[in-house]
Amino acid sequence: MLAIRKWSPFKELSTLHEEMDELFKKTFGTMGGLTRGFLGESWYPSIESFVKKGNFIVHCEIPGIDPKNIDISIVGNTLTIKGERKASEEIKREDYLLNEVCYGAFERTLTLPEGVKADNIRASYSNGILEIMMPAEKAALPRKVTIEVEGAVEEKVKKAV
């Protein structure tokens, strides 16, 4: 005999949501640097950008890629990094037991902040990290912005009087 349970429409919606998520993952893949689906397979390397000691710096994770096969270009205020990771021709696809490494062409594009001197760009590669460095004018450097809270300003005025 079946147990009688209270009907919970939200639980059913949650189950439907999980099933839809799984369907999208199977169809389009996940987005953690790799996309698989109808359009084949593509990937993109992780990037971080920051300002340090008056320089705008971009780090791009590209282990296993020969730096000679990387193309860096700047058009206007847009930085583009292109390249390709090639799979070993010695190992056939059907011989893999597990393969989480992404292969193929990639392209990453970043908008440079104002004040970056792109004509003085330098690039280096070490331990799988591509580092791109450009001098940054003071306008491009991060600055602290204070938040004025209503009432707090009035309190400062009262203390000054």
The residues spanned by each domain of the chain are: 11-43, 44-89+99-142
Pick the residue with more confidence: 109 or 152? 109
- Residue 141's pLDDT is 66
Distance CA 81, CA 68 (A): 12
Whether residue 28 has pLDDT greater than 90: no
Residue 79 β-bridge partners: 74, 110
pLDDT at 41 over 60: no
Global pTM? 0.63
Question: Which secondary structure element, helix H or strand E, spans residue 83, and what is its range?
Answer: strand 78-85
Neighbours of 102 (CB within 10 A): 19
Say if residue 20's pLDDT is above 90: no
Question: At 123, which amino acid appears?
Answer: A
Q: Per-residue pLDDT tens for 50-78?
A: 989 989 999 999 998 989 989 999 999 99
Residue 48 confidence (pLDDT): 95
pLDDT, position 89: 80
Please give the CATH topology (third level) of the domain spanning 44-89+99-142: Immunoglobulin-like (2.60.40)
Q: Could you tell me what percent of the chain has a pLDDT over 70?
A: 74
For range 36-51, the mean pLDDT: 71
Query: What pLDDT does residue 42 have?
Result: 65
